[in-house]
Every structure is written in C-alpha cells, then in structure tokens.
Structure 1
C-alpha cells in the first residue's frame, strides 16, 4: 500500500471510532437534552437551511465533528460543557462564543471552502474540505480552552495566533496524518490569499498567507525529515518555533490534561 492509502485507511478507522465515541457527545433536539454531559466538548446538529443540506450530510456521513471532539475529550478534561453547534449561519462565520461557551460550525462556510478547492481544480475537494473542518474545529477549541484555563487576556491577533498554534499541537500530537491536515489547511489559506490579496485590516486573524506559512513551519519543525520540500533558508527557525509553541501550550494545558 502507498503512504496515501495507509493514511486513508487510518482516517477511515478514526472516523468509525469517532462515530462510536460521538454517540456519547451528540444529542438531537428531540427531548434528550436531560442526557447531555455536563462537561467536555459536545455536539449538536441543527436543521440546515435548504441550501446547506449537503454540508450537513457531508459532516454527518464522515463523522468529522464526532471524531475531532472525541480526540479533544480524550486529551483534555474540560471543567464544564462547551457545545459545538453545526448550523446554518447566514454568513456570520464559524466562531467561538465565550458568553455561551459555544462553537458555531457553519454549514455555509463549508460550501465556500469546497467551492474554493473546486475552482482551484483540486482532484479531491471533499477530502480537502474534510481536512479544513478538522483544522477549524481544533482552532476554535483553542479559543475555548484559553477561556477554560482563564489565561491572561491578549490582543485579538495574539489570541488568534494562539488558537492556530493549538490546532498545530493537536494535529501533530502523535498523528502523522495531522501533517497532511495542516498542509491542506495551509493550501486553503493560500487560496484565500490569492482570491483577496489585500487583507482586511479589521480582521483579528493574521493574513491568510501568514497563517499558511505558520502551518507549514510547524509541520517542517515537527518532522523535517518527512517534508524535505519544506526545507528553505527562511524556515531554519521552524524547529525551535514549533518546540516553543508546543511546550507553551502543553504547559498551559497541564491543569486539564488527562492522566
């Protein structure tokens, strides 16, 4: 089997495990609210708008939120519940709501990401989209965990950078396929940068090209021998940068880490 085929099998097994674990995390709006866990990351699907039905089906068929939240709950022990709500957002955008302790995962964002990959003539747009969903959920979980840990407040840009580094930690933590996830997310940021070369000065996130490079730097720093194509003079610092980011997040997470 090729490396790609082996990773595809691994992902299939991960999805199956995630769906089983996800049964403990998901509830429908049909009278089962009393069984909702009182802590940890949990998931709820809301009825989509007519235009978003395909995106909801995509998430459920692949068990993407379920497997991602199962991985998060296996790593950290949240002191309270954070709800991931998959829903139609009418353009509001996927985000973490601190007041509600809720992550909105927007069906309409998925449609936009798929369209970008299709426009770029990606041979596997659905696979690419699945990777972006994983990276996005880990990023938003990073915001939720900073909140749970009551870490010192930073400016908006620093907060977003820290959430990106948490996604890197989770995806590189013992999962070789996470390298592919980050590289695919980096490609998505490249596409966003190409589509809109002038970053919005009001956006609290780093410019898409900067976020893409951060992910590539983390992958290179984590496993330079597996990605020689990423070895450039501009990335000689990446091993030290990745190590510092990993250690900082691991130190901060110590009170919540499962033993």
Structure 2
C-alpha cells in the first residue's frame, strides 16, 4: 500500500512496521553513511520508478537522513536502508532483517497529492515528505535495535521522532515538517470517504495537526498564524510547548549513549 490513500490509484494508507512486499531487483548499488552502522542500498528501479529514483539520488534525501541519525545516535547492530521499487506496497521496517525499505513510487505519489491541491508546491516539499518518511521508518529501527520501551503507540512515537529530526534543522526543518503536515492533511481530504478500517497509525488529519503542534511548540514566535484555524485549533495550541518539550526530552533521553556491556 502507498503512503497516501485511496484517492491516489485506489490504494489505502499503510506504512506498518515489519511488513514489506517490495520486490528487489538483483542489480543494485551499495553506498554507506556515517559510522553508526547505517548502510544505504539503492535497488535498480523498475521502468516507471526511474524518474523517482533519479529524484532521490539527486536530492540525496536518503543520505541526509542516514547522516543525521548517525550524528545523533550510535547503534551496535547494523541498520540497512533499501531504496526500492515497491509497486504500491509502501515504505516499512522489517525487524527480521533490521531493514528500512523506502519506496521510489512515493515520490510520484506525493507530487501528485500536491499537484491536486493546486500550483505552487515545489519539489523541496516532496523531498521534505520523503525525509519525514525516512525518519519515521528509522524510528522503528531504533526502537527495535535499542530495545526502547515506547509510551503509547509506536507509530505515534515514530512520527514524533520524525518531527524531532526535522526540527533539529531550525527554520528549514520547521518548513519541512509543515510540508509533511500539509501532505497528511491533503491525504485526509482526498480520502475522506475511504474506509480506513483498523490501523496502528493515527488518522491522517490527526497526524497533520500533531506535526503542526510540534512546530508551534518548538517555535511559537515564528508560527502564530497556525493557531485558531483548522490547521491547529487554539485549545490544542495551548499545550503544544509543553507537549513538544516532553516528546523531545523522552527521545533524547532514550537515545542517550549507553554503557557498553563488559
């Protein structure tokens, strides 16, 4: 399933950790990132994914995410990131192989989502959404590898880690997280009549509001215009600074270096 739902090619949202149906061509290129055991592998894209693969390579989105995570935390078990043709299956984390899989076709899917909303959305916004996806799936890998005990739903914690990583980038990161929030909002609007069924994730609309709350909580002075609209209800905004502070503190404590055994 794709990242964004049924309004795009008749599919529903699914990026559930541990589920992967992506086909991996034999021809591939290997590269590396950082010193924390994160390795990137670009699989050969199928014909329809070639432009999307070129976009990710050119923008170095995957390398940026791997380098940022490497700079924040060290892991003893290697984590691999496969960039693959998924045929609509959606990005995921597979704990059996400690492998994040990110889908080429989500580039086109995200671009189409923004295109339907109107002109004016740049490829920077598409890259931002792909970064948020990468950080979300890497969060599942860190929970697994580090044996973290997450409070509440792991999918929500993974969204919060994605927000943490983007907001570490200051004003640029704030704009990137807002672009991801816009994508979740557009997905909700596009798929308002879809039957989502049981899901480990929060709704698309809630994920959009959560991301905006985190941006406002981290830098309220730059984002007062968010408050009091559907983007961020005023009642929710009142607690965003406290909420974001708690989320950031939890993740930074959880990722703090651990003494090595022996």
Of residues 115-124 and 56-65 in structure 1, the stretch that sits farther from structure 2 once superposed is: 115-124
Q: 1:185 to 1:153 in 2, by over 3 A?
A: closer
Does residue 228 of structure 1 match 2:216? no
Paired residues of 2:75 and 2:146 also in contact (CA < 8 A): no
2:109 is aligned to 112
Which runs of structure 2 are paired with 1:195-206 in the superposition (5 Å)? 195-197=190-192, 198=194, 200-206=196-202
Structure with greater contact order relative to length (CA < 8 Å, sep ≥ 6): 2
1:25 is aligned to none
- Normalising by structure 1, we get a TM-score of 0.81
Which of 175, 181, 185 is 1:180 aligned to? 175
Does residue 146 of structure 1 match 2:143? yes
Which of 47, 52, 57 is 2:49 aligned to? 52
Q: Secondary structure at the match of 1:218?
A: helix
Q: Secondary structure at the match of 1:90?
A: coil
Does residue 214 of structure 1 match 2:210? yes
2:10 is aligned to none
Paired residues of 1:43 and 1:85 also in contact (CA < 8 A): yes
2:83 is aligned to 86
Which of 249, 252, 255 is 2:251 aligned to? 249
- How far the C-alpha of 1:120 sits from its partner, in A, is 1.1
Unaligned 5+ runs, structure 1: 1-27
Q: Secondary structure at the match of 1:104?
A: strand
Which of 151, 165, 169 is 1:170 aligned to? 165
Q: 1:238 to 1:103 in 2, by over 3 A?
A: same
Distance in 2 separating the partners of 1:37 and 1:179: 24
- How far the C-alpha of 1:248 sits from its partner, in A, is 0.8
Distance in 2 separating the partners of 1:36 and 1:184: 25
Unaligned 5+ runs, structure 2: 1-26, 229-233
Can you list the C-alpha shifts for 1:213-240, whole angstroms capped at 9, x where unaligned? 0000000000000111023322101000
1:63 is aligned to 60
Q: 1:55 to 1:256 in 2, by over 3 A?
A: farther
1:98 is aligned to 95
Q: Secondary structure at the match of 2:255?
A: helix
Q: Secondary structure at the match of 1:255?
A: coil
CA RMSD of aligned residues (A): 2.3
Distance in 2 separating the partners of 1:185 and 1:36: 24
1:239 is aligned to 241
Higher relative helix content: 1
Q: Secondary structure at the match of 2:86?
A: coil
Write out the 4+ residue segments of structure 1 that deviate beyond 6 Å after TM superposition. Answer: 35-38
- Normalising by structure 2, we get a TM-score of 0.80
Distance in 1 separating the partners of 2:166 and 2:184: 17
